[in-house]
Amino acid sequence: MKSMMTSLLLAALAAAALPASAETVVIVSQKNPATRMFSEQAAQFFLGKSTMFTPIDQAEGSAIRTEFYHKVADKDAAQVKAIWSKLEFTGKGTPPKEYHSDAEVRKAVAADPKAIGYISKAAVDDSVKVILTLP
């Protein structure tokens, strides 16, 4: 009985030690008229299929970027890079500008009414508007 309790306690502690996945949100400037968006729509902007918004990306290799593209487009980093390489090569697009933190992305999006970006929900302030929360 004691060893079973010890095992359960160790399992609970191990689960608690895992980092909780922070919610990711898609943001636009307060000056942007958009109020909400579906994942499929967000994917269009971040994969160069629409130029209605100017996408702002997180740093290549960052956990939030990997999670974002997986959730909105079911694509991994190599697939996203291949899409943008093809668009660049054919002259049909330029990859999104990358920033290295939620704060930098938030600042860039807040400053440009056409910009769209994604950050951790905890990093949202009143300079930007959340239009999509990823599950």
**Is 31 a member of any domain?**
yes
Is residue 87 in some structural domain?
yes
* In-domain check, residue 64: yes
Count how many domains the chain has. 1
Residue 3 falls inside a structural domain: no
Which domain, by its residues, includes 92? Answer: 22-134
20, pLDDT greater than 90: no
**pLDDT tens track for 93-119:** 999 999 999 999 999 999 999 999 999
| pTM exceeds 0.85 | no
Report the CATH number at residue 41: 3.40.190.10
Q: Looking at residue 1, what is its pLDDT?
A: 53
User: ∠ at Cα 58 (100, 102), nearest 5°?
Assistant: 65
Residue 8 lies in a domain: no
Residue at 61 is within a domain: yes
